[in-house]
């Protein structure tokens, strides 16, 4: 397993280089360093000297990809791409274009993101699996048909509807919790309840329907018929056999999502005013802060690769027949 993990980590290096290069190309196709300088300094009455000074302070005064004036290896290393990218691979994110320490901002903003994402994942997972088992228990009945119709309807509704509807109903009409905002420490709970409820409800349709499909596939297998022939009750068959054998696809979905919990939800955090990594990324895109956008995309790629490796490792824990070579 150690050799497998090392090999997967080595495979990740060209992937991260490609992600970083693609992010760089897409960003600077839309914005030039001069455009970024004008936006940060203000569109009106910006002198050329101010633009050049801003670019020099932040390292944008070099060529983008190739420095024809420099000789040898410096023609590739003395560029914006190399200077802004090489430190990412040792997780030195540097400073944003506004002068803030990106690493410090990430360490502070990850906790509000986790405070929303972890409860949504755990509560949603428990509810969706339980509801899916309930539907499978009453399969081919009106309970099954009605539930499927409800789930498809919930899947068809935009996530923005759940956010706006939750804010209006729970926050404005019933006045149970604040509509948006955030507070530090234990006082944050009242600001987290509504985003967590919206996140759980918004994921019921797709999550439960997917788990229902997994369980129905397992119901028709030979080991289930054997368990029933031994006289086991349907409840024991579902929870002791079907659920256990469906853990591999369930773990695939859960473990891949785990690292992405740190990244936060772009839409949810923006609508509820949560100072997490999701709103941090949205603000960076709006302000054309390439340093933050680059760091967040790179961090997301690293976490996603880690999630895939953890998924493969989890297979060996659930199914002893799986070997990583």
Total domain count, the chain:
2
**140 and 79 in one domain?**
no
127 pLDDT exceeds 90?
Answer: yes
**161 and 20 in one domain?**
no
Q: What span, in angstroms and rounded, lies between the C-alpha atoms of 142 and 238?
A: 20
> Given this model, what pLDDT does residue 43 score?
64
Domain boundary, last residue among 90, 116, 138: 90
> Given this model, what pLDDT does residue 308 score?
85
> Given this model, what pLDDT does residue 318 score?
73
Which residue is it, tokens 């009455």? 45
Which residues lie below 8 Å from residue 162, measured CB to CB, with a gap of 6+? 198, 201, 202
**117 and 67 in one domain?**
no
> Given this model, what pLDDT does residue 84 score?
83
Q: Residue 177 — φ and ψ, nearest 5°?
A: -140, 160
Does 236 map to a domain?
Answer: yes
Beta bridge partners of 95: 101
Coil, helix or strand for 42?
Answer: coil
Which residues lie below 8 Å from residue 261, measured CB to CB, with a gap of 6+? 113, 114, 117, 118, 121
Does 96 map to a domain?
Answer: no
Q: What is the DSSP letter of 167?
A: I
**262 and 118 in one domain?**
yes
Give which of 61, 64, 58 is closest to 48, Cα–Cα: 61
Does 97 map to a domain?
Answer: no
> Side-chain half-sphere of 286: how many Cα atoms within 13 Å?
8
> Higher confidence at residue 77 or residue 192?
192
Q: What span, in angstroms and rounded, lies between the C-alpha atoms of 101 and 105?
A: 6
Q: What span, in angstroms and rounded, lies between the C-alpha atoms of 63 and 312?
A: 41
Does 323 map to a domain?
Answer: no
Q: What span, in angstroms and rounded, lies between the C-alpha atoms of 303 and 300?
A: 5
Residue-wise pLDDT tens digits, 171-191: 999 999 999 999 988 889 999
Domain that holds residue 112: 102-318
**82 and 194 in one domain?**
no
Give which of 127, 142, 140 is closest to 196, Cα–Cα: 127
**147 and 70 in one domain?**
no
Give which of 206, 195, 204 is closest to 270, Cα–Cα: 195
Does 95 map to a domain?
Answer: no
> Given this model, what pLDDT does residue 107 score?
93
**63 and 36 in one domain?**
yes
Does 268 map to a domain?
Answer: yes
Q: What span, in angstroms and rounded, lies between the C-alpha atoms of 226 and 161?
A: 46
Does 140 map to a domain?
Answer: yes
Does 21 map to a domain?
Answer: yes
Which of 26-40, 114-128, 142-156, 223-237 is predicted least confidently?
26-40
CATH number at residue 123: 1.10.3720.10
**305 and 249 in one domain?**
yes
248 pLDDT exceeds 70?
Answer: yes
Consecutive H or E run containing 187: none
Q: What span, in angstroms and rounded, lies between the C-alpha atoms of 152 and 156?
A: 6
Which residues lie below 8 Å from residue 6, measured CB to CB, with a gap of 6+? none
**106 and 71 in one domain?**
no
pTM, 2 dp: 0.86
**122 and 41 in one domain?**
no
How high is the mean pLDDT of the chain? Answer: 88
Domain boundary, last residue among 40, 58, 90: 90
Q: How many Cβ atoms sit within 10 Å of the Cβ of residue 149?
A: 10
> Given this model, what pLDDT does residue 312 score?
83
Domain boundary, last residue among 47, 63, 90: 90
> Given this model, what pLDDT does residue 115 score?
93
pLDDT band at 116 (very low <50, low <70, confident <90, very high): very high
**9 and 143 in one domain?**
no
**209 and 237 in one domain?**
yes
Give, in order, the Cα–Cα distances in Å from 194 to each of 99, 128, 153: 33, 19, 22
Which residue is it, tokens 């985003």? 195
């Amino acid at each position: 397993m150690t050799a497998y993990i090392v090999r997967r980590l080595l495979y990740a290096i060209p992937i991260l280089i490609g992600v970083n290069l693609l992010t760089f190309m897409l960003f600077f196709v839309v914005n030039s360093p001069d455009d970024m300088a004008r936006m940060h300094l203000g569109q009106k009455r910006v002198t050329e000297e101010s633009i050049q000074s801003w670019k020099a302070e932040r390292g944008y005064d070099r060529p983008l990809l190739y420095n024809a004036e420099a000789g040898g290896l410096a023609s590739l290393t003395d560029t914006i791409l190399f200077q802004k990218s090489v430190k990412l691979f040792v997780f030195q994110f540097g400073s944003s274009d506004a002068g803030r320490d990106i690493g410090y901002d990430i360490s502070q903003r990850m906790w509000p993101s986790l405070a929303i994402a972890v409860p949504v994942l755990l509560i949603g997972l428990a509810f969706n699996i339980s509801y899916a088992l309930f539907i499978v228990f009453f399969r081919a009945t009106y309970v099954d048909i009605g539930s499927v119709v409800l789930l498809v309807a919930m899947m068809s509704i935009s996530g923005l509807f759940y956010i706006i509807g939750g804010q209006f109903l729970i926050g404005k009409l019933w006045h149970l919790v604040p509509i948006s905002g955030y507070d530090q420490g234990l006082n944050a709970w009242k600001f987290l309840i509504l985003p967590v409820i919206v996140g759980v409800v918004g994921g019921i349709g797709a999550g439960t329907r997917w788990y229902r499909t997994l369980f129905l596939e397992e119901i028709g297998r030979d080991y289930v018929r054997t368990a029933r022939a031994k006289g086991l009750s349907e409840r024991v068959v579902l929870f002791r056999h079907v659920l256990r054998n469906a853990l591999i696809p369930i773990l695939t979905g859960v473990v891949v999502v785990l690292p992405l919990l740190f990244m936060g939800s772009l839409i949810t955090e923006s609508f509820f005013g949560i100072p997490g990594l999701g709103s941090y990324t949205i603000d960076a895109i709006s302000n054309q802060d390439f340093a933050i956008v680059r760091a967040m995309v790179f961090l997301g790629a690293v976490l996603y690769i880690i999630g895939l490796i953890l998924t493969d490792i989890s297979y060996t824990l659930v199914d002893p027949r799986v070997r990583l070579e």
